[in-house]
Structure 1
Amino acid sequence: MYYLFRVIYHLVLILTICMPIFVNHGFAGKMKIVEAPNTFGVNNNFLAQGNRLQPKVIASPVSGPAHLAHLAGRCFSLTESVYRYELCPFHNITQHEQSFRWNAYSGILGIWHEWEIANNTFTGMWMRDGDTCGTRNREAKVILACSTQSKLAQVSEPSTCLYSLTFETPLVCHPHSLLVYPTLNEKLQKDWDEAEQARYEGLITEQGYNNLLKDVFEDAGFLKSQKVNEKLSKVALEAHDSLQKCNEDVQKQHEEITRLQALLTLHNIPFDTKPDTTKGARTATGVQHLRGDVGLFEVVDQN
């Protein structure tokens, strides 16, 4: 009996040790090896700085209501589907594909450019000059909405390469928080008042009034000033006009010369169209007496 128990004990021990080996060997051909996902996309943090997102332009200075300046330097994220959007007010908007593909998309949708203003109210923040999208650059408009906390609430693409974002924050909950006039300095408020008075008295048209307001907003830094570009265009236009006028004058002189040559020929008067290079050498043979006006001299005949 004792011998039988020892045999059973050894059989159980052998099976306990060898069974895992047999199982692994038998199913080795059916096992699937799962590799760790790669992170070699353009949004890889280990890439050199030169390979990361490169903005085309520098963001405009912080402007608008003073209390919104608290948002500068902060970023807010929202993930929708496979994309993560990141809004950095007064800086830029980026989009990152949450994928482990080697070429996962990551790009700039827009860079802080200027405010949208209507009816004495800041109605939106424009982010322009984003990454190239076909024949244009990506751009986005950020709409500010009241909420109990600051967050990026919604992102959509109404049309190709044009994005719309809703940013919620308690900073815009006050009824006067987005008014334009109170943010202006005393001089610009006076300019606005004068424009209002001129429109009321009928001294300027509605278009003239809007142009004056546009100048006020540009001087305040709310809108990207176009004055430099307009000045450059004006200079280029003036240069074009000057060159055209010069060409016209040359053409008129050429026509006058041709007319005079034809007149001389008609009266059998000889003329030489080539300059005589020897005349200057002949005048240098005399004694030169300088006059009071330097550069003028007379030739005294030695004979």
Structure 2
Amino acid sequence: MHLGNEISSLIKLWMVCVSLFINHGFAGKMKIVEEPNTFGLNNPFLAQGSRLQPKVTPSSVSGPLHLHQLAGKCFSLTESVYKYEFCPFHNITQHEQSFRWNAYSGILGIWQEWEIVNNTLTGMWMRDGDACGTRNRETKVIFVCSTSSKLAQVSEPSTCVYSLTFETPLVCHPHSLLVYPILTEQLQGEWDEAEQARYEGLITEQGYNNLLRDIFEDAGLLKSQKVKVKLPEDAADSEIHNSLQKCTEDFQKQSEEIERLRALLTQHNIPYDSKPNEAKGTVTVTVKDQHLRGDHGLIDLL
């Protein structure tokens, strides 16, 4: 009886070992489901190029020179589970600090242009961010005076439109964000002329605003809305080539005609002088003897 219990225990132990061996063997062959690419946006092992894909190229650095020193720098802020990163004159990104398989990470806007109200830069617009329904995300950056440069606050006043507050001592001077002083002398002159024309009633308010927009676009403060039509280089080169070719062919024909006339005059022993015409730059042929020798036919020298 005691021997039977030992045998039964050994059989059970053997069965457990076999079960573990089988499970372990099959576990090694189980298919592992890969997580979506969106998870990798917070994964440091994923190539940076696979994380964020901007839709457009940022505009050129513009505005007051003292703000240009912000280019190439980035400022971050973590609120709740989101980390925001603001890179002036480049873009704004949002990263969800979570290990969820679909944690969001994307672009909230790419540097486009300034917002200008009453001769003052009132904000920096970052547009063409990641898709959000039927539109793209965009962010307005507001500059506030402070003792240090930092990203202070981020909110979403309306769906897919964000508001970012950036504090910096670079805007503490009362004239730090004025537009007129940063314009070139030529553009300042154009603005003065527009002001004078509005004062004299020569242009409407809308016409005045259109002139100001042209000035701000020329200064690089606003993104140009002008439609630029550019001929293909091949077509332009072809047009120039055709013009030169035609000119060369016409010159060759005139040269051949002059030589034909000279030969005709020489054939009939008619003396002539070949002098450049100063007024027209042509060759004038003066016939000294109107009597044709050896041929009394009519010759049209014209």
Residue 43 of structure 1 deviates from its aligned partner by: 2.3
**Alignment check: 8 A CA contact 2:42 2:97 kept:** no
- Who is 2:75 aligned against? 76
- Who is 1:135 aligned against? 134
The 5-angstrom pairing of residues 22-101 of structure 1 reads 41-101=40-100
**TM-score by structure 2 length?**
0.62
Structure 1 47/215 Cα, relative in aligned 2: closer, same or farther at 3 Å? same
The 3-state SS of whatever aligns with 1:189 is: helix
CA distance in 2, matches of 1:50, 1:166: 28
Q: Which amino acid aligns with 1:218?
A: E
**Alignment check: 8 A CA contact 1:41 1:101 kept:** no
> What does the per-residue CA deviation read over 1:46-96, in whole Å, with 9 as the maximum and x for residues that have no partner?
112442101000000000000000100111111111100000000000000
The 3-state SS of whatever aligns with 2:67 is: helix
Gaps of 5+ in 2: 1-34, 231-302
**Alignment check: 8 A CA contact 1:41 1:100 kept:** no
Point out 4+ residue stretches in structure 1 off by more than 4 angstroms.
none
Residue 42 of structure 1 deviates from its aligned partner by: 1.8
**Alignment check: 8 A CA contact 2:149 2:168 kept:** yes
The 5-angstrom pairing of residues 1-303 of structure 1 reads 41-228=40-227
**Alignment check: 8 A CA contact 1:42 1:103 kept:** no
CA distance in 2, matches of 1:41, 1:81: 20
The 3-state SS of whatever aligns with 2:123 is: strand
- Who is 2:298 aligned against? none
Q: Which amino acid aligns with 2:93?
A: T
**Alignment check: 8 A CA contact 2:40 2:51 kept:** no
The 3-state SS of whatever aligns with 1:45 is: coil
CA distance in 1, matches of 2:203, 2:214: 15
- Who is 1:235 aligned against? none
**Alignment check: 8 A CA contact 1:84 1:96 kept:** yes
Structure 1 156/225 Cα, relative in aligned 2: closer, same or farther at 3 Å? same
The 3-state SS of whatever aligns with 1:90 is: coil
CA distance in 2, matches of 1:40, 1:225: 37
Q: Which amino acid aligns with 2:140?
A: K
CA distance in 2, matches of 1:132, 1:107: 9
The 3-state SS of whatever aligns with 2:129 is: coil
The 3-state SS of whatever aligns with 1:79 is: strand
- Who is 1:29 aligned against? none
The 3-state SS of whatever aligns with 1:101 is: coil
Q: Sequence identity, in percent?
A: 83
The 3-state SS of whatever aligns with 1:227 is: coil
Structure 1 162/181 Cα, relative in aligned 2: closer, same or farther at 3 Å? same
CA distance in 2, matches of 1:91, 1:180: 21
Q: Which amino acid aligns with 1:79?
A: T
Residue 40 of structure 1 deviates from its aligned partner by: 5.0
RMSD: 1.6
> What does the per-residue CA deviation read over 1:105-151, in whole Å, with 9 as the maximum and x for residues that have no partner?
10000000000001000000000000000000000000000000000
Structure 1 54/152 Cα, relative in aligned 2: closer, same or farther at 3 Å? same
CA distance in 2, matches of 1:49, 1:88: 16
CA distance in 1, matches of 2:125, 2:39: 32
**Alignment check: 8 A CA contact 1:92 1:112 kept:** yes
The 3-state SS of whatever aligns with 2:227 is: helix
The 3-state SS of whatever aligns with 1:155 is: strand
CA distance in 1, matches of 2:39, 2:182: 47
- Who is 2:3 aligned against? none
Q: Which amino acid aligns with 2:186?
A: K
CA distance in 2, matches of 1:104, 1:40: 6
CA distance in 1, matches of 2:39, 2:120: 45
Q: Which amino acid aligns with 2:127?
A: R
